[in-house]
Amino acid sequence: MIGNPVAVTNDNQAAASNYGAGMAPFFGALSLWIGAYVLFLLVRPLSNRALAAQQPAWRVALSGWMTPALLAVGQSVLVFLLAIKAQGFGVQHPVAMIAFMAFVSMTYVAILHALVSRFGAVGKFLGLVLMVVQLVSGGGTFPWQTLPAPLQALHRVLPMSYAIDGLRHLMYNGRMSLLALDIGVLALFLAAALVVSGLSAHRARIWTPARVKPDLSL
């Protein structure tokens, strides 16, 4: 006897119904980043009037983040209704998914707000570069374990990876314990970004010739 027959069984604890549903978490997370990015092409991150009035830096930073954050929450609801539900994709936890997408949008806005508050037009460019990096390292279109080692390291430290993972768990009824990890990591990103925005607002209270007439504007 060479060997005994081998039987293979598959047990999917969470599976997408079709290819479109499988790609929905990736494109949902990506669209939220693009929406947050576009907001800062239209909205000033820090109010010059509040800075000139010597308002506390934390208040200036928080108010500069809140308005685009509220707009981003509205964007997340539209993404859920138009890009996910309207396409007929099944969602196991729709209410929780809307709440998670709103939280992701607020986190994205905080990150971009910190970049733009600190670096100005260069920060907007960095936000675009960060989006491109997350496209290839987020693991939304193929398993991230197949990426080269440097990109695998980026996957573990960039926010979109956790946004995609959380959306998958909510759409396909995955393990909620892993969703808690995604929320925790995104909350750390949100808190860190707000701290950077506050420090940037404190720094912006000192007016310089470069701020009055910047060399680069976007």
Residue 183, C-beta contacts closer than 8 angstroms, at least 6 positions apart: 100, 103, 166
Specify the residue for token string 């308002």: 55
* pLDDT by position in tens, the chain (length 218): 566 666 766 666 556 555 566 688 888 899 999 999 999 888 888 877 777 677 888 888 888 899 999 999 999 999 988 878 777 777 888 899 999 999 999 999 999 999 999 888 888 999 999 999 998 888 877 778 788 888 889 989 999 999 999 998 888 887 787 899 999 999 999 999 999 998 988 887 766 665 555 655 55
Give this prediction's pTM: 0.84
Long-range CB contact pairs, 172-175, < 8 A, 24+: 172/14, 172/15, 172/16, 172/92, 173/14, 173/92, 173/93, 174/13, 174/14, 175/13, 175/14
